């Protein structure tokens, strides 16, 4: 299994060393550049094959915003800003330039890894769009283009959040999504509200699809979808 290759542009060696260690521990393949120009040069190499960019704003030779702007002009690769700037204006500018997420230093390495997984699941490791039609166990079909859930000829009416929740889990059936990942992607990229709302929506979703075992609870972690052909319930509620 090939590792996801990341471009990490950060000018502080101490931070870079710790982040590189965390990324390698999480089975990523990071390449570090200390300046914006070095990062752009590495990104432009024909054999670069990067699938993700982690980018600081306060670089010694140019602004990370400019780096983001130049990368986004030629690529849809996922970009995550990792910066000491915590002003709302900086967050808004970064996202408006095309970044997919924004984290403020200091940060937790587990959260960083979770954010990377969340973004790559949302936009695809290579920036590809999500599958338009997804078939699930129990005869359920998700149409991401029309946002309809059907079982045979019957449509199952879901709320917007319920659809987004099921569609997210369906991007990788059998994989466990943490509560934090789900809340960040379905509710808001920086959700700080109570997590009980997630349990309420999961319960409602199970009731509407008339299959309480399709969405499985992974105790203390999050939720996953039962995969096709898996007849044994694994719910740990």
Collapse the DSSP code of 23 into the 3-class scheme (helix H, G, I; strand E, B; otherwise coil) and give the result: helix
The DSSP letter of residue 189 is: T
Taking the model in full, what pTM does it have?
Answer: 0.55
pLDDT at 125 exceeding the cut of 50? no
pLDDT at 23 exceeding the cut of 80? yes
Burial annotation 190-201 (CB, 10 A radius, 16+ → b, else e):
ebeeeeeebeeb
Q: Which of 126, 159, 141 is nearest to 228 (CA)?
A: 141
pLDDT in tens, 135-162: 888 888 988 777 889 998 899 998 888 8
pLDDT in tens, 168-186: 898 888 888 888 888 877 8
Collapse the DSSP code of 182 into the 3-class scheme (helix H, G, I; strand E, B; otherwise coil) and give the result: helix
Q: What residue ranges define each of the domains in the chain, with the CATH number in brackets?
A: 4-123 (3.40.50.2300), 133-225 (1.10.10.10)
pLDDT in tens, 184-199: 778 765 555 556 788 8
pLDDT at 234 exceeding the cut of 50? no
Query: Cis peptide leading into 106, omega within 30 of 0?
Result: yes
Residue 88, pLDDT score: 82
CA 114, chain centre distance (Å): 7
How far is 142 from 126, CA to CA, in rounded Å? 22
Mean of pLDDT over the chain:
84
Q: Which of 62, 63, 64 is nearest to 8 (CA)?
A: 64
Task: Provide the terminal-to-terminal Cα distance of the chain, rounded to the nearest Å.
Answer: 32
Cα separation values, 35 from 12, 47, 125, 142, Å = 10, 20, 24, 44
């Amino acid at each position: 299994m090939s590792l996801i290759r990341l471009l990490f542009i950060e000018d502080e060696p101490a931070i870079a060393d710790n982040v590189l260690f965390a990324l390698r521990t999480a089975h990523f393949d990071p390449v570090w550049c200390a300046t914006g120009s070095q990062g752009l040069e590495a990104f432009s190499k024909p054999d670069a094959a990067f699938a993700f960019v982690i980018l600081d704003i306060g670089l010694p030779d140019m602004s990370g915003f400019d780096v983001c702007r130049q990368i986004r002009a030629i690529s849809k690769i996922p970009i995550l800003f990792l910066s000491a700037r915590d002003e709302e204006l900086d967050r808004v500018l970064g996202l408006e330039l095309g970044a997919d997420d924004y984290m403020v230093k200091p940060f937790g390495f587990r959260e960083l890894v979770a954010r990377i997984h969340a973004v790559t699941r949302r936009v695809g490791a290579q920036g590809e769009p999500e599958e338009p039609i997804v078939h699930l166990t129990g005869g359920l079909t998700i149409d991401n283009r029309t946002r309809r859930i059907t079982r045979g000829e019957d449509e199952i009416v879901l709320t917007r959040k319920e659809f987004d929740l099921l569609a997210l889990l369906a991007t990788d059936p059998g994989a466990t999504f943490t509560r934090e990942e789900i809340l960040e992607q379905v509710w808001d990229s920086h959700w700080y509200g109570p997590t009980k709302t997630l349990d309420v929506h999961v319960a409602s979703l199970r009731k509407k699809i008339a299959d309480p075992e399709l969405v499985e609870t992974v105790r203390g972690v999050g939720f996953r979808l039962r995969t096709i052909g898996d007849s044994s319930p694994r719910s740990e509620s």
